[in-house]
Amino acid sequence: MYTKEEAIKKISRILRVKEDVLSDIEKTMVGLTGKTSVMEKIAQENDAEIQRALNHIGVRDHNARDFFNALVAYLKQSDWKLFKFLHEPLGSTSESLRTLVNVAKELANPKSLFVLKMEKAYEIVKKNPPPNMISGLGYGSVDELLEHEDLVEIFCAMRFIETNQWMHENFEKAYANLTKDDFEERDVKIIVLREKWMTLAEKFLKKKYHNVSHLKELGIIFIIPIQIDTPGETLRLFGLVLHYLHEVQFYSNLVKKYSTLPDFLNKLKSLLRGDVDAILGKFEDGKIILPIVQRYLAKDDPNDIHLVTPHVNSETLHWDKAENDIARLSERFESLDLGMWKNLGWVGDYFKLDHNHEEELLSFDLIDTVMYVVKAKEMIKYLYHHQESLWNKIFEEYLGKEKLEELIVENFDKGYIKISNLKSQI
């Protein structure tokens, strides 16, 4: 059992923030919601989930290195079982990934999307010829490009072939006059780019941590073909596809909501850029101002001030759903043994290193562990999915999981949530 002070100290250390930050959150949220002992509950549940995971993989020694090695070994077994279950998705062709894509769609159950019409997308490319793509493929004009290449692949490939400056300048101009009538209801589309894009994709893969991305405005998830021959790759790819299925639905719902508003274009551009408001989490007059972060800021700047001040992260909503989808698959097919990962996204703690008093922070989050396994040669331990999930967990406990997501959606265009008295709403 934890006292309030002990719980705040523990959670603050995991989040790497000052204890005063958590103390202020606790004091303010108790006043706004009437809920007490939340920090103690989170600390106790964290310990219980860690013990559950340790028991599941048969680890008794809480030494950081031994435990992490056992967790990695267990994940590799999980990955191999999933690889076999999904009919050995080799990753290089649409055919080899058919089962993976179909199972992901069944689990995520995406609804119809509100997305840009394909004829409008064609018009945008024609008016803004992508220079690197045209020259790289040996075409003499944009008309020749459009005649010989698939429009969806063109839109996807521009993301990693053209420069960031070109993309920003041309799409800022291309989207300047969009209206609600340029959008339509359409199902999500998942494609595997043809192998001809592999050489051009190398630059993209150096900039990103993965080879899966999406186009929010078109409702498209695209996979750059790479051979699945590394432990963890199947879980990583499957998790990313599930994540993007939930994310494109989330953004489509927002686009449809904003499409009837007079400032639709400004809101649309902000969504596509992934803007994060400069406002920081703060307390004023018994209320809390809670920024909504829609990216993993730690990937670009691990010292971003938002990371150590109160906030919630919309990306975490999508990953939580994806990781729970994976655990739910294991409920139907027990031999996969993936259920252990359920509810571990926010779980983590410090563990002692060998023969000394030093400790290391370990994440129990599935995608953090997967990324470490896939990137094993780089010896990088990933923590940011877990820590952002823990920020969400704190406010979910005070507000309720569904209420927090509702508030994020309602206030997404503002970039922050102002929480006042909610005792009658939760």
Kindly report, residue by residue over 362-392, the tens digit of the pLDDT. Answer: 999 998 999 888 876 555 566 788 999 999 9
> Which whole number is the average pLDDT over 320-333?
93
> Which whole number is the average pLDDT over 95-113?
95
Give the amino acid at 359: E
**Which among 172, 129, 155 has a CA at the least distance from the CA of 214?**
155
Report if residue 318 sits inside a domain: yes
Q: Judging by beta carbons within 10 Å of its beta carbon (0-12, 13-18, 19+), is residue 283 exposed, middle or buried?
A: middle
Report if residue 134 sits inside a domain: no
305, pLDDT greater than 90: no
Report if residue 110 sits inside a domain: no
The pLDDT value given to residue 210 = 61
**Which among 226, 211, 227, 235 has a CA at the least distance from the CA of 81?**
235
Residue 426 pLDDT level (bands cut at 50, 70, 90): low
Report if residue 221 sits inside a domain: no
The percent of residues above 90 in pLDDT, for the chain, comes to 61
> Which whole number is the average pLDDT over 3-22?
96
**Range among 215-229, 266-280, 401-415 rated most confident:** 401-415
Look at the chain and report how many structural domains it folds into.
1
137, pLDDT greater than 90: no
The pLDDT value given to residue 209 = 43
For residue 338, give the DSSP letter: -
Q: Name the residue range of residue 24's domain.
A: 1-60+277-426
The pLDDT value given to residue 55 = 93
Report if residue 97 sits inside a domain: no
Report if residue 229 sits inside a domain: no
248, pLDDT greater than 80: yes
Q: What is the mean pLDDT of the chain?
A: 89
Quote the CA–CA distance of 299 and 317 in Å, as a whole number: 18
The pLDDT value given to residue 226 = 76
| Distance set, CA 122 to CA 129, 207, 278 (Å) | 11, 27, 35
Residue 93 pLDDT level (bands cut at 50, 70, 90): confident
Quote the Cα angle for 139-123-144, to 5°. 15
Report if residue 147 sits inside a domain: no
The pLDDT value given to residue 372 = 84
Report if residue 325 sits inside a domain: yes
**Which among 171, 172, 134 has a CA at the least distance from the CA of 154?**
134
Helices (H), 175-276: 198-207, 233-258, 264-273
